[in-house]
Chain A
Amino acid sequence: MRQHRITAATLSAVFMGLGQIYNRQYVKGSAFAAFYAFAVYFTIANWHHAIWGITTLGETQQKLVLVGKIYKPVKGDHSIFLMIEGLIMLFIFALFAYLLVMNAIDAYRGGKLRDEGKKLNNIKQTLRYIPDKKFAHLIITIPLVFVFFFSVLPIIFSVMIAFTNYNNTHEPPGKLVDWQGFRAFKDLFSLSQWAHTFFGVFTWTMTWAVLSTFTTFFGGFAVALLVQQKGIRFKSFFRAIYMVPFAIPAFLSLLIMRNLFNAQFGPINSTLLKFGIVGPEWLSDPFWAKATIVIVNLWLGFPLSMLLIIGILTTIPRDLYEASEVDGASAFYKFRKITFPSVMFSLSPILIGQFAGNINNFNVIFLLSGGGPTNSEYQFAGHTDILITWLYSLSITNGRYNFAAVISIFLFIIIALFALFSFRRTRSFREDDLLR
């Protein structure tokens, strides 16, 4: 009598629901069996087209046929649609397979309960059991489906694009797209111009991410400390003033900044000239363009850090400071030993988030310098282009979707690795309890 679980699991593996029926869970078993019939029918009906679509990406090209005086379009295959449909189908097939396995496990467990002489849930109990004990899982299913269709699927899709020749000379529906393996990867790293551009842009991206994160963080930190000083009056007034850059929509202030920093006609250099200083070429000199972007980003970004840090400063227990004063600690020592660690404990995950965000900080670069000044050594990129703006000009402006996909894969890997590594190292992630 110890073989129920094996029999049930085998039955269920052969035909979904059979094991459950064998376990005398008739309603559940027949529901499973009905689903299985549907799944098998669905798979048989769609398998061939899905596999053909995703492997060939279409075989008939769309064309026009002249009928008398009028051209009639004759529909062909749309490679990208075939790719997406095939992808969705493959996922559904995988889901069926997964459910089949889970159903066999369920039958095995049922059989095990019978082997142990326990009673199995009847259908009423099962239906009550799910919302009672598995409520969280039930609820999380909905966002999970959304995450799947709006995050996971597009990511896989864009990874697949990297292995095709999808660009503006192979553009569906008029033209078919073909798989071409690692050609785009090879081109990116072996063709000297692309490789040179990639490494140049990559270096600046990382420099920019480090600089922008640290300037806004420590800028905000400094302002927060100043505003929270004991002697300062009208604290809320200053806080409000410093929040202004944050309150103005960033794209507006960036467009205004772009005109302010116009070297010849902008008010900044005109003002400097009145003091006898010839201002730098803010946006046309490669070095100054980079500096300008960092400065403007500091102006845009410090209020958020300031606000967060003010919030944290108020939570640091006063008695820590009082005790250290009794021990004769200097102001700097107090900052180094009390203020800074407390702030870092709470803020380091946010700092990492900001760093990852700055790697992809499209707005500032795109609106302020547009990637310029142009660099004649680069392909489709300027001195201040970061990977994400380069990606934009590759895909949107120049229609090299496959190259853009390759770069986005690298961006994804860089950011994911970095974020994972740093988050795991922060103390607030490792320890749930307070700092010691």
Chain B
Amino acid sequence: MKLNKSLAMISALSLMAASLAACSGNNGKGNASPSASAASPSASASASAPSESASPEATDIEPEAGAKLVVWAAQEQKDFLETMGKEFEAKYGIKVEFQKVGSADALNKIVKDGPAGVGADLFMLAHDQLNRAVQAGVVLPNDFYAEDTQANFAKTAVDAVTATDGILYGYPRNIETYLLFYNKNLAKAEDLASWDAIKAFSKAYNVPAEKKFGIMWKLDDSYFNYAFMGGNGGYVFGNNNTDPTDIGLNNEGSVEGLKFMQSMKEVMPFKVADATPDVKTDLFQKGKLAIDMDGIWQLGSFTKEKLGFDVGAVPLPPMPNGKSPKPFAGVQAYFVSQFSQYPNAAKLFAHYVSSQDAAIKMYQMSGVVSARNGLDQDPALKDNELVAAFVEQFKNVEAMPSIAETASFWTAMGAVYPQIWDNNADVKATLDKAVSDMKTLIQQAK
């Protein structure tokens, strides 16, 4: 065939179409069916509003008859949640299914799956995604148990899961922050008494050729670096991180904080991009890194059994000007989906897994310390030195901003650290640029 191929293709297509017309009856139906199936999910979602409401006197919300729940959480929570699910089923007759969707992915997934009627009833989110979740209309307020949550959980946690509209949405699980872990074979507690002490210790200890370093943290991450700015009076957004028109990242405090961070370079002779969490954790585990700034999620892996040496932890010590860095805190919380067919049962389960008994079981099974008040006095946790250090650190933390504009903060600040660390750029000028970038980004999202 000497025909031009594309022409041949087109003529073949039109021939086919012509022959289709001859047998059109069944073909028309074949094309019509997908639209019907696309329309059905919304129909099933709208049919989901249950009518009964619980009596206000009852201590527990009345779950819907025949309810069954799907819960999204990270793999580490699987054992705990499945155990709780079995207990819950025995008590209320409601089956709970665990699905592995971590809090980082849950929002993007529920936005798509929820309206289609296939999402979870209950899922985990970090509190900094709360306002986006509220805007996107995917979470139900924590209404029935609001007083209970407010009374029994740390104020930091409750405030963090309350959206800017003043409504409490989440059921807090735990607060996450970071502090200094140290290898007790290499450093003593006195070496971590202040940042000057850390510098002095590192100077004596560092042997770059053998990859021995005094202190490390993930240098490209505002999550960690913010501590120095926040501790000196810098802030992300004004009015408790709710006013996007007031950005405090280039004020005097912020500049002073990052200048101090810049000064740490003398004992941390590596580039921002090279200080990856993999490298850092690996060096700490091998006993080469003495002091490791890392988060509470390492509690389960930084144990004597796993590392072979004793690990200590101290809250971030004061900087040379006497002020202590103020680390970011993230609050992991359960949220009930607005698309849940059984919202009452979901609320009941969220409450159930946040109880005092559940909190102790969660600590035993997954090492996660609940944000409930007074848990640090519980004998199950009291003896753990590392947990005690975190409880101490929690007294001086700042919840990450959670308004939708926060994305601009992470984006604009990401470019700052390589500049000031690798290229010794002027801190004030770099931060001014970052703040003006943030303003542009916020403007454009409108």
Contact = CB atoms under 8 A, between A and B. Distances in A.
A31 interface: yes
Given A69-B144, A85-B39, A372 B273 contact: yes
Contacts of B446: 169
Interface residues of B, number: 77
A75 B45 contact: yes
B433 interface: yes
Nearest to A39: B28
A273 B209 CA distance: 9
Contacts of A262: 274, 276, 279
A173 B138 contact: yes
A171 to B, nearest CB: 4
Interface stretch (A60-68, A233-241, A319-327, A350-358): A60-68
Most buried by B among A144, A174, A375: A174
Contacts of A400: 445
Nearest to A66: B143
A70 B143 contact: yes
Given A141-B20, A171-B132, A374-B415, A95 B271 contact: no
A97 to B, nearest CB: 12
A224 B324 CA distance: 62
Contact of B24 (A35, A62, A68, A75): A35
Interface in B428-446: 430, 433-434, 437, 440-441, 444-446
Question: Chain B at the A interface: mostly helix, strand, loop or mixed?
Answer: helix
B114 interface: yes
B136 A175 contact: yes
Given A92-B31, A145-B31, A169-B445, A99 B21 contact: yes
A178 interface: no
Interface stretch (B10-18, B88-96, B247-255, B258-266): B10-18
Given A130-B22, A134-B19, A85 B38 contact: yes
Nearest to A134: B19
Contact of B49 (A32, A73, A136, A191): A73
A112 to B, nearest CB: 14
Contacts of A138: 19, 23
B444 A191 contact: yes
A265 B283 contact: yes
A149 B114 CA distance: 22
A85 B40 CA distance: 11
A149 B53 contact: no
B35 interface: yes
Contacts of A62: 137, 338
A106 B28 CA distance: 17
B42 interface: yes
B418 interface: yes
A134 B17 CA distance: 10
A127 to B, nearest CB: 8
Contacts of B24: 32, 35, 99, 102-103
Given A106-B21, A174-B137, A398-B407, A141 B27 contact: yes
A115 interface: no
A103 B23 CA distance: 10
A429 interface: yes
A399 interface: yes
B53 A175 contact: no
Interface of A: 28, 31-32, 34-35, 38-39, 42, 62, 64, 66-73, 75-76, 78, 81, 84-85, 88-89, 91-92, 95-96, 98-99, 102-103, 105-106, 126, 129-130, 134, 136-138, 140-141, 144-145, 149, 167-169, 171-175, 187, 191, 193, 259, 262-266, 273, 281, 283-284, 372-376, 379-380, 396-400, 429, 432
